[in-house]
């Protein structure tokens, strides 16, 4: 067990299905409740693989260890067990848990944030849309890193043969996640593929970063552009010649250290700037 945080497991129900939540609470760098964001962090894996314990290699772990955030990560259902909307509903149930347990967890209820890498980033973006429309939880900030957003080929995801994630794997991931909806193409619901969204208004401010040789390069930039067009503060950093999840796989590289440091700077800025009060408080 780390000296920087405690970890506990909770079980919750999402649409009648029991899922696990892993909750990381800071110890050494713990802060007063009003200074403690609650972050829902969603693991990647193309919607078909991965696990909640990937949190230990994610960008979120330092937000607990260094900056005193409380992070909750769900063991959402993967596509082989249940396609869309299972993962989204699981994440929304985890988001509601975070809101309902702010006192117990020592979280500022006005600073609930969401984030994730890859498919987790795609789920984070879709969850912001779903939460906005459901109106049960107000999200203060989103951090969808190199997110998997678009079920259709883009200029960067078409004929992409970069390491880690490529066109073939992308098609397989989307087909598994969407199931029978795959054939709908551009008519897929935006909660399933966030790039299909038409209304970006009133979504949370955002930060992301992405490499320029990976499949999700174009859809990431388009997402940020669409947020900005809707009047939402949104920023992206681009890292040349970097492939998918370079920061997680090669954290010792100079470019990865630079990306990690910039992500943490953006997080600290968000802690100072962005709040979203809950409607029932």
pLDDT single digits (tens) 63-118: 999 999 999 999 999 999 999 999 999 999 999 999 999 999 999 999 999 999 99
Give the per-residue pLDDT at 280: 75
CA–chain centroid gap for 265, Å, is 17
Instruction: Please give the domain boundaries of the chain with CATH numbers for all domains.
Output: 5-273 (3.40.50.1820)
Band (pLDDT 50/70/90 cuts) for residue 15 is confident
Q: What is the pLDDT of residue 191?
A: 98
Query: CA-to-CA distance for 18 and 35, rounded, in angstroms?
Result: 31
Return the bridge partners of 115, or none: 41, 143
Side-chain-side CA neighbours of 30 within 13 Å: the count stands at 14
Which backbone phi and psi does 207 adopt, to 5 degrees? -140, 145
pTM for the predicted model, two decimal places: 0.98
Percent of the chain with pLDDT over 70: 99
**CA–CA gap between residue 157 and residue 140 (Å, rounded):** 30
Q: What gap in Å lies between CA 58 and CA 80, rounded to an integer?
A: 23
**What's the mean pLDDT in 132-145?**
98
pLDDT of residue 48: 98
């Amino acid at each position: 067990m780390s000296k920087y945080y405690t970890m506990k497991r909770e079980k919750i129900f999402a649409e009648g299905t029991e899922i696990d939540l892993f909750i990381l609470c800071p110890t050494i760098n713990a802060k007063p409740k009003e200074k403690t964001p609650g972050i829902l962090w969603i693991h990647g894996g193309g919607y078909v693989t991965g696990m909640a314990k990937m949190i230990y290699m994610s960008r979120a772990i330092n937000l607990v260890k260094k900056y005193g955030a409380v992070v909750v990560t769900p063991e959402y259902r993967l596509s082989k067990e249940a396609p869309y909307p299972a993962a989204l509903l699981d994440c929304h149930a985890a988001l509601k848990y975070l809101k309902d347990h702010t006192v117990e967890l020592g979280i500022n209820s006005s600073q609930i944030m969401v984030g994730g890498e890859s498919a987790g980033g795609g789920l984070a973006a879709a969850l912001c849309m779903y939460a906005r429309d459901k109106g049960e939880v107000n999200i203060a900030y989103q951090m969808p890193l190199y997110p998997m957003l678009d079920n259709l080929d883009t200029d960067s995801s078409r004929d992409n043969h970069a390491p880690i994630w490529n066109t073939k794997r992308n098609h397989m991931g989307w087909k598994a996640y969407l199931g029978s909806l795959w054939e709908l193409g551009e008519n897929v619901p935006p909660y399933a593929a966030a790039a299909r969204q038409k209304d970006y208004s009133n979504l949370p401010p955002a930060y992301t970063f992405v490499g320029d040789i990976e499949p999700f390069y174009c859809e990431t930039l388009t997402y940020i552009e669409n947020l900005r067009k809707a009047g939402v503060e949104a920023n992206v950093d681009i890292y040349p010649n970097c492939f998918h999840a370079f920061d997680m796989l090669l954290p010792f590289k100079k470019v990865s250290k630079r990306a990690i440091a910039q992500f943490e700077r953006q997080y600290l800025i968000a802690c100072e700037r962005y709040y979203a009060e809950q409607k029932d408080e």
